[in-house]
Amino acid sequence: MKVSKIAQNLVGSEIIKIGNEVNDLKAKGAEIANLTIGDLNSNIYPIPAKLKEEIQNAYSQNLTNYPPANGLLSLRKSVSQDLKKRWNLDYSPDNILIAAGSRPIIYAIFQTIVDQGDKVVYPVPSWNNNHYAYLTSAQKVEVETKAENRFLPTAADLKPHLEGAVLLALCSPLNPTGTMFTKEQLSEICEMVLEENQKRGEDEKPLYIMYDQIYAMLTFGEEHFNPVSLFPELRDYTIFVDGTSKCFAATGVRVGWGFGPAEVVDKMKALLTHVGAWAPKPEQEAVAKFLEMEQEVDGFVDDFKGKISESLNILHSGIQNLKAKGFAADSIEPMGALYLTIKLDYLGKTKPDGETIKDSTDLVFYLINEAGVALVPFSAFGNSRDMPWYRASAGGLSQEEIKSMMPRLENALGKLK
C-alpha cells in the first residue's frame, strides 16, 4: 500500500513505545515504577474538586454541542483576566485561542509560521519539536545544550543559528529537564531575537518565538519569566502555549490555549477549524468558572506543586545517595514541572547475561526488566543514544513508591560491570 512520504517516514513517540512496554509488563503482574509518561496518577493527584464539580454541572446542563471554533468567549475572558493577574500579560479574548490541550496549539503555530524549507531552531533536549519540524517539512536546527547550563540554551548557543530562521521554540520550565530560565538567560536570548528582527526588511518573515509555559505555575521557589514581560516589543513576535493540563493535574481534561499577535493567532484559528481540535464544551465552561475562583486556584496549585516538589526531592536525594556510594549516577536539582534529570553513565557496561549496554535505550529496557524502574532517555528528546541522561516523571507515583524503587535501582546498577 502506498502512503504519503510524510506518513511513510513518520517516527512514533519513543516515550509511548517505552510506556507500552511498561503497560504490557504490568498487565502480566510485574511491579514497575513508571517514571516515563509526563502524566499524573489521578488517584494520587485528582483534579481540583471545584473544577470537577463544574465539569459535572456542565454535563448535567447538556452543554454537549459544538463549542465556538476559537473557544467559549467566557473561557477566553477568564484566561485573559488570569494572564493579566498572574503574569501581567495584557491579551484580549480575541487574541486567545482555545484547543484540546497544548499539542494542537503547537501544531498550529508551526503550520501557521513555517513554510517548507524554513529554518526552525530549538534546543535539544526538548519535547516533540523534532516531530513538528518534520510535519512542516522545516529545515530543523537542533542546538545541543550542556548539563552545566541545566540543559537550557544560552544566547551564545543560539546566536550562530538565528540568521534566516523563522521560529525559535523555547520552553520554561523545560520538558524534559524540569529546569528554568533565569531572568538573565532569557533576557540575553530576547535581545538577540530583537536584534535579528531589526535586520529584516518589511517583506521578510520575522523570527518568531514559540514560548511554551505550560508548566509555569509549577515552580519550586523560582520565578517564572517570559519574553513579553521582559521586552514588551517582543509582543509582535511571541506566541505562547499554555493551559490546564499540568497546573491543575488535568491532563485528560484537554483544555489548552495559545495567545499572541492577532495576525498569527487569527490564522491559527482558521487552521484549527479544519482540524476540529476543540476542547469539549463542558470542560471549557468549567475551566472558565474555575479560573475565576482565585482562592481555589491558588490553594490547589500551592498544595499540588508542594507534593510534586517533595516527590522530586525524594527522587533527587535517592540519586545523590547513589552518587555518594560511588555509582555512576547524578541528577540536577529540580526547579519546576514534573521532572528530574538523571545521569546514569553505564553505556558500554556488561549485563549479568553477558550482553553489553549499547546505548541509552538499552539501559532503559534493562532497568525495566531488572529493577522494575522505567525512565525515558534523552534520545526521545532529540539527543544521541550515546547520551547517558534520562527524564524521570514523578507524577505517576506516590512518595512511598519512589522510596521503595530506589533499592531495586541500586541493585540493578550494581550488577553492571
At residue 240, the pLDDT reads: 98
Q: Same domain, yes or no, for 172 and 267?
A: yes
The answer to whether the pTM exceeds 0.85 is yes
Q: Same domain, yes or no, for 61 and 151?
A: yes
- Type of residue at 142: E
At residue 1, the pLDDT reads: 64
Q: Same domain, yes or no, for 219 and 318?
A: no
Among 293, 318, 335, where does a domain finish?
293
Asked if residue 211 belongs to a domain, the reply is yes
Asked if residue 43 belongs to a domain, the reply is no
Give long-range contacts, CB 8 A cutoff, 24+ apart: 5-13: 6/134, 6/135, 6/137, 9/134, 10/131, 10/134, 10/135, 11/131, 11/134, 13/128, 13/131, 13/380
d(CA 376, CA 378): 7
Q: Same domain, yes or no, for 91 and 233?
A: yes
Q: Same domain, yes or no, for 167 and 274?
A: yes
Among 293, 319, 343, where does a domain finish?
293
Q: Which residue from 318, 338, 347 is spatially nearest to 393, judged by alpha carbons? A: 338
Q: Residue 375 belongs to what domain range?
A: 5-30+298-414
Cα dihedral 243/245/249/253 (nearest 10)? 110
At residue 26, the pLDDT reads: 84
Asked if residue 192 belongs to a domain, the reply is yes
Q: Same domain, yes or no, for 215 and 72?
A: yes
**Beta strand 119-124 pairing with 33-34:** unpaired
At residue 94, the pLDDT reads: 97
Q: Same domain, yes or no, for 342 and 200?
A: no
SS (H, E, C) the chain: CCCCHHHHHCCCCHHHHHHHHHHHHHHCCCCCEECCCCCCCCCCCCCCHHHHHHHHHHHHCCCCCCCCCCCCHHHHHHHHHHHHHHHCCCCCHHHEEEECCHHHHHHHHHHHHCCCCCEEEEEECCCCHHHHHHHCCCEEEEEECCHHHCCCCCHHHHHHHCCCEEEEEEECCCCCCCCCCCHHHHHHHHHHHHHHHHCCCCCCCCCEEEEECCCCCCECCCCCCCHHHHCHHHHHHEEEEEECCCCCCCCCCCCEEEECCHHHHHHHHHHHHHHCCCCCHHHHHHHHHHHCCHHHHHHHHHHHHHHHHHHHHHHHHHHHHHHHCCCCEEEECCCECCEEEEEECCCCCECCCCCECCCHHHHHHHHHHHHCEECEEHHHHCCCCCCCEEEEEHHHCCHHHHHHHHHHHHHHHHCCC
Asked if residue 374 belongs to a domain, the reply is yes
C-alpha cell at 288: 472558565
Q: Same domain, yes or no, for 277 and 366?
A: no
At residue 80, the pLDDT reads: 98
C-alpha cell at 339: 521532572
Q: Domain of 389: which CATH number?
A: 3.90.1150.10
Q: Same domain, yes or no, for 175 and 271?
A: yes
At residue 184, the pLDDT reads: 98
Q: Same domain, yes or no, for 259 and 343?
A: no
Asked if residue 94 belongs to a domain, the reply is yes
Asked if residue 199 belongs to a domain, the reply is yes
Among 260, 293, 326, where does a domain finish?
293
Our count of domains for the chain comes to 2
Asked if residue 329 belongs to a domain, the reply is yes
Q: Same domain, yes or no, for 12 and 75?
A: no
d(CA 313, CA 37): 19
Q: Same domain, yes or no, for 222 and 99?
A: yes
Asked if residue 132 belongs to a domain, the reply is yes
Q: Domain of 149: which CATH number?
A: 3.40.640.10
At residue 14, the pLDDT reads: 80
Mean pLDDT for each consecutive 10-residue tract of the chain (417 residues)?
Answer: 87 82 86 92 97 98 97 98 97 98 98 98 97 97 97 98 98 98 98 97 95 98 97 98 98 98 98 96 98 98 98 98 98 97 98 97 95 96 96 96 97 97
Question: How do residues 162-212 score in pLDDT, each as one tens digit?
Answer: 999 999 999 999 999 999 999 999 999 999 999 999 999 989 999 999 999
